[in-house]
Amino acid sequence: MLSVFGINSDGLNLAVNLLILFVVVIYVALIYWTYTDALRRISDPMLVMCATAVSLIPFVGAVLYVIVRPPEYLDDIRERELEMQASEARLADLNYMLCPHCEYEVEKDFLRCPNCLRRLRAPCGTCRRPLDPTWKICPYCESELSGSEGRVRRRATAGEP
């Protein structure tokens, strides 16, 4: 029988061989774990291979990978982005808008911002409903808009004519 480290006792030699087998299995399992974990966390295949190559350094490579690996899984990142898109879509459906000047929350039918008092939309000359500056006809009363009705004019400041 093969003796490891010059051990002649069969029982002790068996224990040392099992210990070596255990260490080798753990080493191979760490390489496999590093590869599969890198696949779930890193989108670039070259970086996945680099992480796997680093894990070939016995035990230290896996520890290095754990230190420098990305903190999130790719699926979690995609899920968070989808949730953000869904939240933005829900906000758009709720007529949630911000004043372009002071970013105060306003509604779509506000003519002026209640915070900074700047004009957001011009009223229709017929029905007095708020108009979008790009509209050519009032969608509420169907009256034709002149060039000045649909546009929101800027106030002249002290230095402007």
What is the structure's pLDDT at 52? 96
123 forms bridges with which residues in the sheet?
Answer: 130
How far does CA 151 lie from the centroid of its chain?
37
What is the structure's pLDDT at 20? 93
Q: Give the end-to-end CA distance of the chain in Å, rounded to a whole number.
A: 104
What is the structure's pLDDT at 159? 47
Contacts of 125 (CB under 8 A, 6+ apart): 143, 145, 146, 149
DSSP characters for 20-31?
HHHHHHHHHHHH
Q: Position 45: which residue type?
A: P
CA distance linking residue 35 with residue 28, whole number of Å: 11
49 forms bridges with which residues in the sheet?
Answer: none
Angle between helices 74-93 and 10-41 (to 10 degrees): 30
112 forms bridges with which residues in the sheet?
Answer: 119
Residues in the chain where the model's pLDDT stays below 50? 1, 149-157, 159-161
